[in-house]
Copies of this chain bind each other. A is one copy, B any other.
Amino acid sequence: MDETSRRILRLLQKEPELTVAEIGQRVGLSHTPCWRRIKEMEKLGIIRDRVIRIDPKMVGYDVSVFCFVRLKQHDEETLLEFERAVRAMPEVVQCYSMTGEHDYVLRVLTSSVRQYEEILKKALLKLPGVGFVNSSFALDELKNTLEVPV
């Protein structure tokens, strides 16, 4: 990982449409070595993958909810069950275990506040081991990027 590879990463993040040859050109490499560096970074796991981004609002998900969860018990089994259940819920797009007053923070996509009620009552509060849930609605998404400073 030298400066050239970092420049390639920056370009790939900023302008994902660039072709390998174009990236090579901008970093002063012909397409073969540039391609090899990209493949190497993929193999190492630095580059995880390429994904498409869908605009949630365009398909009916107008609301993002942050949902702070405390568990009743903290034994290994409860944790694993909870985590498995969360991963299986497609509306939950992010989930982190946390320090501080809450055990987990989730971000949940819903079409409306009303539908969030549903998800909360029917799914979130019924997740394995859940003791306490505190929800905050996102009024606006100011920033949501995958770009990592390199």
Contact = CB atoms under 8 A, between A and B. Distances in A.
B97 A138 contact: yes
Nearest to A46: B58
Interface residues on A, range: 35 or more
Contact of A149 (B50, B66, B91, B94): B91
Contacts of A53: 47-51, 146
A3 interface: no
Interface string A73-117: 000000000010011001111111111111011000100000000
B137 A86 contact: no
A49 B17 CA distance: 9
Contact of A138 (B17, B59, B96): B96
A28 interface: no
Given A47-B54, A51-B50, A52-B47, A87 B146 contact: no
A145 to B, nearest CB: 5
11 contacts: A16-B50, A17-B49, A46-B59, A48-B52, A93-B143, A93-B148, A94-B145, A95-B143, A99-B136, A100-B136, A100-B137
